[in-house]
Amino acid sequence: MKLYSTNLKADEATFKTALIKGLAPDKGLYLPKELPHFSEEELNSLKNEKYPEIAFRILSKVLEGEIDDDSLREITYDAYNYDVPLEEVDNKTYIMRLDRGPTASFKDFAARMMARLMQYYLKQENKSLVILTATSGDTGSAVAHAFYGLDNIKVIVLFPETEVSDRQRKQMTTLDKNITALAMDGKFDDCQALAKQAFADDELEHLNLSSANSINIGRLIPQSIYYFYAYAKLRNYPEEIIYSIPSGNFGNMMGCVLAREMGVPIKRILASVNENDEVPVFLETGKYAKIEPSRNCLSNAMNVGHPSNLARLIAVYGGVMDEKGNISKLPDMEKLNNDISSVSVTDEETKATIRKFFEDYNISIEPHGAVGIKGLLDYRETTGDNTLAVTLETAHPAKFPAEVIAATGVDPEPPQSLKDVEAKEEFMDHLNTDYDAFKAYLKEKLE
């Protein structure tokens, strides 16, 4: 597999380089130059397989020559040891629950695979790595859990002590072993700034710091697998399917774009967003403007005023957008609008959808999943298109109890993974946001 940078100013990279580096040297995002195609026969053969086997079959073709099949099979079975339910709403509508991983967020799908692939390549070269990541909550816990217990990789998670919920904090602090949780006396932006300064500090280069952030190609590719999975379970080739994807940074929906490029017959991709509607406006007008600062909505993991993966979407459709969001070449807007719709959903509609699904179907959803569902309902109403559709639930309702109780009056029952954390001992270090103190801490901890 060869990868190019969306800024078109960097050399081609191998998968391994793109995975370990994350960002291309020209600050662009990596995308595969070519992807394999899955035939009708191959798609139909997935029908009776379980998720980890489907993941293995897809990845062994995508990563052909990059990793041996025995190691890959071991990795996919180890990473995907939880259920992926497809819950029926009616015979045209399914909810794919991506909330059964160890941190009850769909981010587990990407983070667990990226962590294991990194470990595979590091072991080959007998190298080690330190993942330094700043988090406002969910990404940090998914990353920490994904790397937990792996050799050769240490993780340091910086989080703003007063800005995360008890449950979020406990998901990071109860792990220990190779995971260090650093509670910072500051805001998320301070944590982010400290991490950035450390990455740029020559005196820390020998520590091999890496960010594992959401733009890594090793997180994107695994996010295409569940689109094969739902298709294989619900359809027979060549019938088409619609996906509605609650979107913030658009990594999840880019996974769907890749799945379509690899041959999954997807009629339309709905990128459902909250009141941060910069993408729907762009698709409609061809003009792009970031929303700064982003709007605060109930689906807070989607409060993104400039999605980092938009550069990738534009690249797939023949355009160029740089890391600042400037478009130097417009993509093929007609083709883009033919394949993809983006629907903005208000907080009021989000709440009403949570309530409606609880009352009408006895189905419990949280704000992000509700945006996906409402986006689909709006699309159906405006187009009359009743093709079979799957909407994604990206977090467990128990991760957003206040919002769910406000809409339904019922406190959602936490999954075992969240309950287990409650009673465990917490380990964390405390620091203020002084860079010199942070640097001294890193050296003492890691040298």
Binding site for ligand PLP (CB under 6 A): 105, 107, 138, 246-252, 301-302, 368, 394-395
CB of 285 closer than 8 Å to CB of 343? no
CB of 428 to ligand PLP, least distance (A): 22
For ligand PLP, give the closer residue by CB, 131 or 142. 142
CB of 109 to ligand PLP, least distance (A): 11
Residues 309 and 302: their CA atoms lie apart, in Å, by: 13
List of residues 6+ apart from 138 with CB closer than 8 A? 103, 105, 107, 168, 301, 395, 399
CB of 86 closer than 8 Å to CB of 99? no
Query: Residue 91 region, left (φ>0) first, then alpha (ψ -120 to 50), else beta?
Result: alpha
CB of 138 to ligand PLP, least distance (A): 5
CB of 393 to ligand PLP, least distance (A): 9
Please tell me whether the peptide bond between 367 and the residue prior to it is cis, using omega within 30 degrees of 0. Answer: no
For ligand PLP, give the closer residue by CB, 251 or 331. 251
Total Cβ atoms within 10 A of residue 192: 16
| DSSP 8-state code for residue 105 | B
CB of 110 to ligand PLP, least distance (A): 8
CB of 122 to ligand PLP, least distance (A): 26
For ligand PLP, give the closer residue by CB, 154 or 307. 307
- Using the Cα atoms of residue 258, residue 259, residue 260 and residue 262 in order, give the sign of their dihedral: positive
CB of 230 to ligand PLP, least distance (A): 17
For ligand PLP, give the closer residue by CB, 7 or 342. 342
For ligand PLP, give the closer residue by CB, 138 or 275. 138
List of residues 6+ apart from 156 with CB closer than 8 A? 130, 131, 132, 133, 180, 182, 442, 445
What Rg value do the Cα atoms of the chain yield, rounded?
A: 21
Cα→Cα distances 356→243, 351, 402, Å: 21, 9, 17
Which tokens sit at 50? 């379980």
For ligand PLP, give the closer residue by CB, 195 or 371. 371
The tokens 């662009």 sit on which residue?
28
CB of 137 to ligand PLP, least distance (A): 9
Amino acid present at 159: F
CB of 387 closer than 8 Å to CB of 240? yes
Residues 219 and 118: their CA atoms lie apart, in Å, by: 11
